[in-house]
C-alpha cells in the first residue's frame, strides 16, 4: 500500500488550509496551516494554529512523514523536541508506526501524531505545562524507554531478548522464552498478545536494527560500569 495522488487530493480537499508544494520523485510536500480547537477538562479550551510543512514519502504509510514548524512560533531545540534539522520529534518510530498502522491515512497521521504534539506545544507556549502526554528521553535512550513502557519490561537485556523474538518469523520466535522473565515460552505468557499486536508495526529487519543499536548501547553501558568499578577498586587498593 502506497499513497496515491487521489488520496493526496482527497486530503487537500478535506484540509483546504494545506496546499501542495514542489517536491521530488520520492516524496510529496504539503504546506499550510494546522488549526485545532480542543476542549479538555484539565486545560479548558485550547485553540491555536501553526504553519507547518509535511514531507510525505510516496511509500507512506510504510514510512513516517517528516513534519516541520515553519512559522517560527518556538525555538527548534531539545526542550521543544526537535531534531538538529529542525524537524519535529513526534515520538519514537515504533509508537508512531503503531498509530499509523491503526489509521493508515494522512488524516489519521495528522490527528494521532501531529495534533497531539502541537497541542502540547501550545500549552507549553502558554506556560501551562510541558508536554502533557509525557516525554521520552532523546535519541536511543528514548527508544529504550518506549520499549520498556509499551511492553512493561524493566531491563535493557529484556528489550534485547524481545527484539530477538520480533526479528524472527513468528513460528520460530514464539518458541523462545518470554523476555519478561517468567521462564515460559512466548505463547504461554500473557505478553504474547502484546507481541502479536506489535509484530506487524515494523518489519523484522527494523526490529533487528533496533536490537543491534540497543545491544551496542548496552555493551558500552556495561563497559562504563566496569571501568567505574575498577576505578573504585584501585582507589581503595
Per-residue pLDDT, averaged over 72-88, amounts to 93
Question: Taking residues 31-58, what's their average pLDDT?
Answer: 90
In this prediction, residue 232 carries a pLDDT of: 65
Model confidence pLDDT, tens digit, residues 132-189: 666 666 788 889 999 999 999 999 999 999 999 999 999 999 999 999 999 999 999 9
Cα diameter, the chain: 74
Domains by residue range for the chain, with CATH: 5-125 (3.10.110), 140-235 (no CATH)
| 135 alpha-carbon distance from chain centroid | 11
End-to-end CA distance of the chain: 64
* 52: phi then psi, degrees, rounded to nearest 5: -135, 165
Sheet containing 18-21, strands listed edge to edge, beginning at the edge strand earlier in sequence: 18-21, 27-40, 44-57, 66-69
Q: What is the pLDDT of residue 235?
A: 54
User: In degrees rounded to 5, what are phi and psi of residue 35?
Assistant: -115, 145
pLDDT score, position 233: 62
pLDDT tens by residue, 122-148: 988 988 766 666 666 678 888 999 999
Average pLDDT over residues 57-82: 94
DSSP string, the chain: ----HHHHHHHHHH-TTEEEE---TTEEEEEEEEEEEEEETTTEEEEEEEEEEEEEETTTTSS--EEEE-S--S--SGGGTB-TTSBB--S-HHHHHHHHHHS-SHHHHIIIIIHHHHHHHHHHHTTS-S-TT--PPSTHHHHHHHHHHHTT---HHHHHHHHHHHTS-HHHHTTSBPTTSSSSBGGGSTHHHHHHHHHTTS-HHHHHHHHHHHHHHHHHHHHHHHHHHHHHHHHT-
Task: Look at residue 197 in the predicted model and tell me its pLDDT.
Answer: 96
Cell 497521521 belongs to 109
* Dist CA 93 CA 136 (whole Å): 12
- pLDDT at position 136: 63
pLDDT above 70 (res 205) = yes
Amino acid at each position: 500500500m502506497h499513497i496515491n495522488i487521489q488520496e493526496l487530493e482527497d486530503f487537500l480537499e478535506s484540509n483546504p488550509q494545506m496546499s501542495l508544494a514542489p517536491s521530488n520523485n520520492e516524496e510529496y510536500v504539503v504546506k499550510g496551516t494546522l488549526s485545532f480547537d480542543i476542549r479538555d477538562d484539565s486545560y479548558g479550551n485550547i485553540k491555536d494554529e501553526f504553519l507547518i510543512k509535511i514531507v510525505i514519502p510516496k511509500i507512506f504509510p510504510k514510512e513516517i512523514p517528516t513534519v516541520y514548524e515553519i512559522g517560527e512560533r518556538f525555538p527548534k531545540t531539545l526542550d521543544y523536541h526537535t531534531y538538529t534539522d529542525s524537524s519535529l520529534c513526534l515520538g519514537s518510530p515504533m509508537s508512531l508506526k503503531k498509530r499509523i498502522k491503526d489509521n493508515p491515512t494522512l488524516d489519521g497521521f495528522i490527528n494521532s501524531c501531529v495534533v497531539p504534539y502541537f497541542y502540547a506545544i501550545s500549552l507549553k507556549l502558554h506556560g501551562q505545562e510541558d508536554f502533557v502526554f509525557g516525554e521520552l528521553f532523546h535519541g536511543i535512550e528514548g527508544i529504550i524507554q518506549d520499549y520498556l513502557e509499551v511492553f512493561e519490561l524493566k531491563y535493557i537485556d529484556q528489550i534485547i531478548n524481545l527484539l530477538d523474538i520480533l526479528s524472527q518469523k513468528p513460528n520460530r520466535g514464539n518458541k523462545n522464552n518470554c523476555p519478561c522473565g517468567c521462564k515460559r515460552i512466548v505463547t504461554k505468557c500473557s505478553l504474547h498478545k502484546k507481541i502479536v499486536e506489535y509484530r506487524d508495526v515494523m518489519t523484522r529487519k527494523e526490529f533487528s536494527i533496533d536490537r543491534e543499536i540497543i545491544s551496542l548501547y548496552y555493551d558500552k553501558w556495561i563497559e562504563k560500569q566496569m571501568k567505574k568499578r575498577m576505578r573504585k577498586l584501585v582507589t581503595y587498593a
